Amino acid sequence: MPRLFGTDGIRGTANVDLKPTLAYALGRATAHRLAGPGRPIVVGQDTRRSGDMFVAAIVAGATSLGVDVHVVGVVPTPALAFITGAGHFAAGIMVSASHNPASDNGLKVLDEHGLKLDEDVEDELEQLIWTADELPGASPDALGVAVQDRDLLDLYVGHRLKLASATSTRLHLVVDCANGSGGIAAKRILEATGARVDVLFNDPDGANINAGCGATAPGALAGEVVARGADVGFALDGDADRLIAVDASGCVVDGDAVLGILALDRLARNSLPNGALVVSILSNGGLQKTVEDAGGQVIRTPVGDKYIFEGMLVNGAGLGGEKSGHVIVLEHTSSGDGIVTALEILAVMTRTGLSLADLAAQVPMLPQQQRTIPARHKDQWEGDPVMREAIARAESRLGSAGRVLVRPSGTESAIRVMVEGPEGALVAELADELAALAGERLN
């Protein structure tokens, strides 16, 4: 039986392979393992239509074991993490599939500090989920209650407003909220810097989250930045834990470039703990060279922001993140937060007087291509001799300066292929060849 928990919680197509019965079982399992009478949990959601269904199921499961549930409503994932850690909660559950389409949803469990769970605790929860009906329920007079507590978002907003007030700027920003939960707070926080803020894609209808917008599709934002003559654009994803930036000319500045900008700024100010930047195996080799040439060190981890965070703790690092736009600035937050990342970029632009394009030019990247291929048998690629031989040939053609990475997605039924090297045309050719082969062999 495949593991329920992936790199970012439990995900699936809503009401198909991720059903409310599973959310109910997770509510009971979380209440039993992490909470208990007198130790409430807090639940939030993004803007997907299926969110209400899953929240109701979680509430039913947890209250059936005598645990109170505070329902905060639509909030960014980093807001729920902050609320969980700042409050008196035993755990938090975020109902979101982040950057995935609206048809998907997910269940992310956080501990009392607002942090993602260790894998051993996830394994314990998973076993409890399968036996959730056998857990001892509360008596009728000891059932938990659901508390509508939407004002809890103010805890997060207040903290982020203080961060914003540390930067004073008159820049013109365009923010793409991905029709997701970031729209509930992004404009107010970013305007606290003094910036002029235009907002796009902030009309969620339950079905348009991430649809042709947001961090996974920044093209529309890029066009609007140019059309409006703005200084910079910021694209959040559906739950606002990612951010992709766009410069004034409409060029996309991805998570690797953002990490490089922030790392170089901190190295120059001697404020990067241990000179360390923690990134995933997917991050560009150009980023690593830039940071190392500036006197820093780059530490790589498996893909997934929870591994980034663990790597930061182990190595005493204060900055880490992924090419996808997850950025963790440990002095401010223990999770990826697209709004905080935007504030950090604005602070560097204001401090240096440089445009985003000029800052990004200081972090030259190697050509890199990534492909995501739907795959029914995504975990079987290593056992396929044809795939292994094709990867070996690609690595040989790239030489010592290149890399090939193939891995199953932790959030989708897909295989991911990354090719990197000094020659852009060859990199694209090999990425296409491996993607086509994966589609043939793994379906």
**Catalytic residue at 98?**
yes
Q: Which of these is catalytic: 50, 98, 334, 335?
A: 98
CA count, 13 A, side-chain hemisphere, 190: 33
Distance in angstroms (rounded) separating the CA atoms of residues 7 and 302:
10
Q: Which parts of 182-330 are beta strand (E)? A: 196-200, 232-236, 243-247, 252-253, 276-280, 297-301, 319-321, 327-329
Burial class for 19, CB neighbours closer than 10 Å (0-12, 13-18, 19+): middle
Specify which residues 296 forms β-bridges with: none
Helix/strand/coil for 243:
strand
Are 174 and 230 a contacting pair, CB within 8 Å? yes
| Secondary structure (H, E, C), 361-393 | HCCCCCCEEEEEEECCCHHHHHHCHHHHHHHHH
Torsion angle in degrees (nearest 10) through CA of 107, 111, 117, 123:
-80
DSSP β-bridge partners for residue 420: 368, 403
* Cβ count near 134 (within 10 Å): 8
- Catalytic residue numbers read 98
